[in-house]
Structure 1
Amino acid sequence: MIILSISDVTVTIAVLKPTPILGGFGKPLILGSSAAGKDFKNYSDIAAVLVDYATTTEEYKAAAATFAQKNPPAEIAIVSRRTGTTPEALVDILPKLFLKDWHFLISTSTLVTDITTIGDAIEADKSRQYFFRTSVQADLTAILVKKYTRTYGFYHIAAEVAKYPEAAWVGAVGSLPVGSVTWKGWTLVGIAPLDITATELAAIHALGANTYVTKSGTDVTSDGKAVSGDFIDLIHSQDFVVFSVQYAVQDLFNQAQAALSKIPYDNRGIAQIESAVRTVLQRAYLQGMIAVDEDGVPLFNTTFPPRSQMDAAQIAARNYPDGQFDFVPAGAVHTAAIRGTIKFA
């Protein structure tokens, strides 16, 4: 993932939920803590992590769970918050971390106060996703009231929580092409399933959390939802589209300058901007984010009014404010109901 801290492009996206009818985005950051603290640093494998973090440290354990999966990320980052002399508060370090290159946050802390502090910051920033773990259902109850859409809980017994199941989950799924997969139904290396009934599983889901169970003889993640009930892959796809559109249009501006040219404020320039946006949406469709209609046509649209419809003040200010796009997410099938009939004749 590339950080665009300064840009001439603003992208906003609204998720329009249907009214009921009657009838690289894969990079994890591990946030730990220690007396002396350690600066933000990237690591390409677990051997590199061992240089800075002993096997007994929580940072190492989280990194090991991440790298142990079948589809591990090419790179992770780790930072250790200073807790000794002149300690760093979570609320102070988080804004600095949002300026760094990562997408998924994993914290070594399971304190509910730390989880909500991080969750609040993640929700306010609107560009990252946070995975936490817990073995305390009462903590899930406290977190549920926050209705986080970018914060995802992983419930398990204490012994398995110590193995960082949420880090394993990010390691297994996070680096795959955005939109190509859902977060439900993944087998995690090194994590044992939770032995519970269907009723107990439903209770965990009702608390806004996910867990790890056995279905049809296979150990899998039980769901793929945020605390709010939104799907993780939908939020991930939304982030991908917003960032990619912003990057593509800013790159269009940059390339024009590099070529000693400009984007003219007329229908030619507007068409260039629209083309950049449509290229992103086409890529999103190819990665599985966007649905198709009955004829196989991707369900996305762009609307970029011509210069003649622009306000004179906007033209004078060299600002084009009215470009729009929309798309229908492809989603995924998570459950099914199938009826059968036995016939004797």
Structure 2
Amino acid sequence: MLIPKITDVYVSIDVTHPQFSKDFKKIAIFTKSDKQSFKSYTYLPDLMADFGQNTSTYKTAAAIFAQDDAPEVVQVITYTDQVPAPDTQTASGNGGLKVTDINANTSDQPAAGIGRAAFDYFYEDWEIAILADYNQKDALALADVIEHGGYDGKGFHFMLLQFNGDNAGEASAFDKYNRTFYLYHTNTDERADAALASEATYATVGKQSWKFTHDLNGITPETLTVTQILNLERQHFIVYVQKGDHASFTDDKNAQGLYIDFIHGMDFVKATVENNLQNSLTLNGKGVFTFDARGLNAVKESITNTLNTAGDNGIIRSDDTGKYEFDVQMPDISKFHESTIEHRILEHVKFNYTASSAINEIHINGNVVA
């Protein structure tokens, strides 16, 4: 699903085994309404003006704001099943210019519903998707856009889903998605997914395993048996349980074996490389980015600086000498055809990196002398 973006820098990352959203900590609550919209809320009372205290949207936002290290802003994306009428849409802020909605007929853009809202607001200021009310149809539609969206069709953002004893059997439908993670929580009045997203994003992207997000406010650890918890783990559920003196999660990966911090870090790298280069192009232009060896070196330096920052954040692994394991490959300026230079499009720039890992379990063998 190719979602156009107004930019001059395009970054595409492939995941190899073994191998700018503005804020990578913002959570978007998707909720059904009679119209499509995107709105930011800083305080619960502001949100309550649009969503009453008894609504699932309010309760989800309340779980986010209730955490000790909650984000400053919660985004709410509303969606509707009504298909916009062609030739009648008005683009906001453009003096009432009429915009013809032909995309849904000429591309794979979703015509309506949650998929359409995710498509239209794909590049707005959010990273983590949560459903106010789960239903499988909407969740699958959103998972598809998140998995395959973007100008390169390789996905962006990720989603947390919460299941319980009544609908846990539906979770396997999401096993194929790299960017969807799901929790099991018995108490349906508590939003463990929202609380996890809120507290886990306090740290710098890449700095921590989400598994060890602990002691969430308003979230009760499960009292399931060991057999039940192991069964849930085999089905790739993330479960909030008591471990030692603190409550935390059984894991932080999905059915594809991908960890949340890995996907989160990949989005940071992709968008930050893009954003930094876009800003440099805009501010410096031809003064720095000439189509010659000097300009190519400037592009390489920008990418290298971003990857070093990602390494400092814990996203990229370092070798025994402390050097971050990444490589930036620039094409040879002498190999470009003159027509390519005339069109001013630099292609075949590549980079790769090795993602950092973390210790999630420790196995120790002791010995005692009698």
- TM-score by length of structure 1 reads 0.89
Between 297-306 and 128-137, report the one with greater CA deviation. 297-306
Dislocated runs of 4+, deviation >6 Å? 83-87
Given candidates 323, 328, 334, the residue that maps to 1:302 is 328
**Residue 160 of structure 2 aligns with which residue?**
131
Q: CA deviation at 1:4?
A: 9.1
Q: CA deviation at 1:237?
A: 0.4
The superposition leaves residues 274-295 of structure 1 with CA deviations (integer Å, 9 ceiling, x where unpaired) of 0100110111011111111111
**Residue 164 of structure 1 aligns with which residue?**
191
Residue 27 (structure 1) aligned with residue 26 (structure 2): yes
Aligned-partner Cα distance in 1 for 2:318–2:134: 41
**Residue 341 of structure 1 aligns with which residue?**
367
Aligned-partner Cα distance in 1 for 2:352–2:71: 30
Residue 153 (structure 1) aligned with residue 182 (structure 2): yes
SS of 1:52's partner is coil
**Residue 114 of structure 2 aligns with which residue?**
90
Which amino acid letter does the alignment assign opposite residue 27 of structure 2?
A: P
Residue 292 (structure 1) aligned with residue 318 (structure 2): yes
Aligned-partner Cα distance in 2 for 1:185–1:197: 21
How many residues end up aligned between the 2 structures? 331
Aligned-partner Cα distance in 1 for 2:272–2:40: 23
Aligned-partner Cα distance in 2 for 1:317–1:37: 42
Q: Cα gap change, 1:331/1:102 in structure 2, threshold over 3 Å: closer, same or farther?
A: same
Aligned-partner Cα distance in 2 for 1:326–1:140: 33
Which amino acid letter does the alignment assign opposite residue 190 of structure 1?
A: G
Residue 194 (structure 1) aligned with residue 218 (structure 2): no
Q: CA deviation at 1:85?
A: 11
Which amino acid letter does the alignment assign opposite residue 182 of structure 2?
A: G
**Residue 98 of structure 2 aligns with which residue?**
none
Q: CA deviation at 1:208?
A: 2.3
The superposition leaves residues 147-167 of structure 1 with CA deviations (integer Å, 9 ceiling, x where unpaired) of 11111111111xx23321101
Q: Cα gap change, 1:317/1:55 in structure 2, threshold over 3 Å: closer, same or farther?
A: same
Aligned-partner Cα distance in 1 for 2:71–2:327: 33
Given that residues 177 and 287 in structure 1 are in contact (C-alpha distance below 8 angstroms), is that contact kept between their aligned partners in structure 2? yes
Identical pairs, percent = 26
**Residue 120 of structure 1 aligns with which residue?**
144
Aligned-partner Cα distance in 1 for 2:5–2:322: 38
Q: CA deviation at 1:37?
A: 4.8
Aligned-partner Cα distance in 2 for 1:85–1:114: 15
The superposition leaves residues 33-74 of structure 1 with CA deviations (integer Å, 9 ceiling, x where unpaired) of 24x457321111223222322211111100000111121112
SS of 2:210's partner is coil
Aligned-partner Cα distance in 1 for 2:16–2:141: 28
The superposition leaves residues 265-324 of structure 1 with CA deviations (integer Å, 9 ceiling, x where unpaired) of 111111100010011011101111111111122222212233123344433332221222
SS of 1:25's partner is coil
Structure 2 runs not aligned, ≥5 long: 86-111, 150-154
Aligned-partner Cα distance in 1 for 2:177–2:322: 34
Aligned-partner Cα distance in 2 for 1:84–1:185: 41
Residue 48 (structure 1) aligned with residue 77 (structure 2): no
SS of 1:42's partner is strand
Between 316-325 and 120-129, report the one with greater CA deviation. 316-325
The superposition leaves residues 55-109 of structure 1 with CA deviations (integer Å, 9 ceiling, x where unpaired) of 1111110000011112111211113334799996233333223142211111112
Q: Cα gap change, 1:295/1:94 in structure 2, threshold over 3 Å: closer, same or farther?
A: closer
Between 296-305 and 53-62, report the one with greater CA deviation. 296-305
SS of 2:352's partner is strand
Q: Cα gap change, 1:79/1:317 in structure 2, threshold over 3 Å: closer, same or farther?
A: closer
Residue 177 (structure 1) aligned with residue 201 (structure 2): no
Aligned-partner Cα distance in 1 for 2:169–2:61: 27
SS of 1:281's partner is helix
Between 234-243 and 200-209, report the one with greater CA deviation. 200-209
Between 314-323 and 166-175, report the one with greater CA deviation. 314-323
Which amino acid letter does the alignment assign opposite residue 8 of structure 1?
A: D
Given candidates 114, 120, 131, the residue that maps to 1:107 is 131
Q: Residues 210-225 of structure 1 correspond to what in structure 2 (within 5 A)?
A: 210-225=238-253
Which amino acid letter does the alignment assign opposite residue 338 of structure 1?
A: I
- TM-score by length of structure 2 reads 0.83
**Residue 16 of structure 2 aligns with which residue?**
16
**Residue 140 of structure 1 aligns with which residue?**
171
Q: Residues 226-237 of structure 1 correspond to what in structure 2 (within 5 A)?
A: 226-237=254-265
**Residue 328 of structure 1 aligns with which residue?**
354
SS of 1:184's partner is helix
Aligned-partner Cα distance in 2 for 1:141–1:16: 24
The superposition leaves residues 187-217 of structure 1 with CA deviations (integer Å, 9 ceiling, x where unpaired) of 2211111112333222212222211111123
**Residue 291 of structure 2 aligns with which residue?**
265
Aligned-partner Cα distance in 2 for 1:222–1:333: 13
**Residue 88 of structure 2 aligns with which residue?**
none
Given that residues 179 and 289 in structure 1 are in contact (C-alpha distance below 8 angstroms), is that contact kept between their aligned partners in structure 2? yes
Given that residues 82 and 113 in structure 2 are in contact (C-alpha distance below 8 angstroms), is that contact kept between their aligned partners in structure 1? no
RMSD: 2.4
